[in-house]
């Protein structure tokens, strides 16, 4: 399975934080303080989306958020994680960088 670095950026692309991805069973992104990656905004659901393995690849899945998880301006239910993928979650741009 590929390893990725997840960059949490502003919508203009300024890097705020970076996290390694691919070495855990599941990562939850959301507003709640119990989330693995917390994004503090009223536009982000308490548990907004999850990154999880599916076979030999990783997928990002929306967890029924009201505002949605967007790829290229379209709401998605699930998308395969690959290098260069950009996902909008509330006020944040989530960018995946392949590390190996």
**Average pLDDT for the chain:** 94
Tokens 């939850």 found at: 28
Of the candidates 36, 23, 84, 88, the residue with the CA atom closest to the CA atom of residue 62: 88
Handedness of CA 20, 22, 25, 30 (dihedral sign): positive
- What is the rounded CA–CA span in Å between residue 29 and residue 89? 9
pLDDT single digits (tens) 11-47 = 999 999 999 987 778 999 999 999 999 999 999 999 9
> Angle at the Cα of 98 (from 35 to 14), degrees rounded to 5?
65
pLDDT at 2 over 80: no
The pLDDT of residue 1 is 58
User: What is the pTM assigned to this prediction?
Assistant: 0.92
DSSP 64: S
């Amino acid at each position: 399975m590929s390893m990725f670095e997840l960059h949490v950026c502003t919508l203009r692309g300024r890097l705020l934080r970076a996290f390694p991805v691919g070495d855990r069973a599941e990562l939850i992104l959301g507003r709640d303080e119990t989330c693995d990656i917390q994004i503090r905004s009223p536009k982000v659901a308490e548990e907004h989306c999850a990154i999880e393995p599916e076979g030999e690849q990783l997928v990002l899945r929306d967890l029924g958020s009201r505002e949605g998880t967007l790829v290229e301006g379209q709401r998605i239910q699930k998308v395969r994680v690959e290098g260069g993928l950009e996902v909008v979650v509330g006020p944040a741009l989530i960018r995946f960088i392949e590390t190996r």
